[in-house]
Amino acid sequence: MKLVLFGPPGAGKGTQARRIQEEYGVVQLSTGDMLRAAVKSGSAIGQEADRVMKAGQLMPDSMMIEMIAERILQPDCAKGFILDGFPRTVKQAEALDEMLERLGKSLDCVIEMQVDDVELIERISGRFSCAGCGAGYHDHFKPTRDIDICDECGSGEFTRRLDDTAESVRARLKVFRDQTAPVLPYYEAKKILYRIDGMADIDEVTRRIKNILLATANLS
Ligand code: AP5
Ligand code: MG
């Protein structure tokens, strides 16, 4: 299985990628998570990513393409992967096709999760995640079962993203419309683009994604 979960900030890409990863044993490749790990490490790339992410802008294509090109060669990607947050420009989409072609592979599908701006802002402003295992939550839509205890690992520590400020979210939504949405016609022309209404609840969105995977991906 090789798929792209595509959508604006807060659409639910990370939430759904984690579920698919668990169910099918394919690995989630989140460029946002990779960059946040680089920020934490304090590396030169991390320092640049910290500035760019807080401003809600995009990191350079060449850097992101290199990051994914290295990552998909790792043994844990052999069974497949879910791209979450990549590609984000037409240049990244073209580079992805080239690197997959060199490996004799191709994408099964690109799933666009459509969610309106009011809902996106509500989802982003209530988001938090477990500092231990990274499980994602929401103040209203997906609270922890027990107050302040992670459902998945039992940790009591949680974090909120530094780029989830109102100003940064406005910039991220504009960048999505201007630079990322143009990727959609690219995949539409290749006839691998599927659109789902991402406004439904988390379980229903998972069901819709799984239906597309059943029709397009080799799930053995
Ligand atoms: P990235 O980390 O990819 O952020 P993003 O695309 O802005 O998307 P988010 O992670 O904010 O949202 P999501 O769709 O994963 O939603 P989630 O599942 O968390 O990128 C961050 C930054 O890194 C970028 O701005 C850029 O600077 C840089 N970057 C990354 N990749 C790059 C690239 N390829 N090129 C250049 N730069 C790059 O859900 C949100 C909340 O809603 C959660 O609280 C969740 O519980 C809740 N929720 C989810 N689904 C539902 C539902 N159906 N109903 C109700 N609530 C829901
Ligand atoms: Mg995410």
pLDDT (tens place) for every residue of the chain, 220 residues total? 999 999 999 999 999 999 999 999 999 999 999 999 999 999 999 999 999 999 999 999 999 999 999 999 999 999 899 999 999 999 999 999 999 999 999 999 999 999 999 999 999 999 999 999 999 999 999 999 999 999 999 999 999 999 998 889 999 999 999 999 999 999 999 999 999 999 999 999 999 999 999 999 877 6
Whether 19 is catalytic: no
pLDDT at position 220: 60
All domains of the chain in start order, with CATH? 2-112+201-216 (3.40.50.300)
Other Cβ atoms closer than 10 A to 48: 16
- What residue type is 142 in one-letter code? K
Instruction: Say how far apart CA 35 and CA 47 lie, in whole Å.
Output: 10
Work out the angle between the directed axes of helices 61-71 and 90-102 (0-180°, nearest 10): 30
Tokens of 50: 């910290």
Whether 161 is catalytic: yes
Instruction: Give the distance from CA 43 to its chain's centroid.
Output: 22
Tokens of 28: 């989630």
- Residue 3 in contact with ligand 1 by CB distance below 6 A: no
Atom of ligand 1 nearest to the CA of 137: 46
pLDDT at position 89: 98
Residue nearest to atom 18 of ligand 1 (CA): 12
Whether 36 is catalytic: no
Instruction: Say how far apart CA 163 and CA 35 lie, in whole Å.
Output: 12
Residue nearest to atom 49 of ligand 1 (CA): 12
- Residue 19 in contact with ligand 1 by CB distance below 6 A: no
- Which of 2, 36, 123, 127 is catalytic? The answer is 127
Instruction: Say how far apart CA 178 and CA 174 lie, in whole Å.
Output: 6
Phi, psi of 214 (to 5 degrees): -60, -35
pLDDT digits (tens, 9 = 90+) for 66-124: 999 999 999 999 989 999 999 999 999 999 999 999 999 999 999 999 999 999 999 99
Choose the residue to mutate in 117, 123, 203 for probing ligand 1, maximizing ligand atoms within 8 Å of C-beta.
Answer: 123
- Residue 32 in contact with ligand 1 by CB distance below 6 A: yes
| Cα dist from 171 to 5, 28, 31, 113, 175, whole Å | 21, 25, 18, 19, 6
Ligand found nearest the CA of 64 = 1
Q: Give distance in angstroms: CA of 211 to centre of ligand 1.
A: 22
Residue nearest to atom 8 of ligand 1 (CA): 9
First to last CA, the chain: 9
Instruction: Say how far apart CA 210 and CA 113 lie, in whole Å.
Output: 13
Per-residue DSSP letters for 143-169?
Answer: --SBTTB-TTT----EE--TT-SHHHH
pLDDT at position 219: 74
Whether 88 is catalytic: yes
pTM: 0.96
Whether 207 is catalytic: no
Instruction: Give the distance from CA 201 to its chain's centroid.
Output: 18
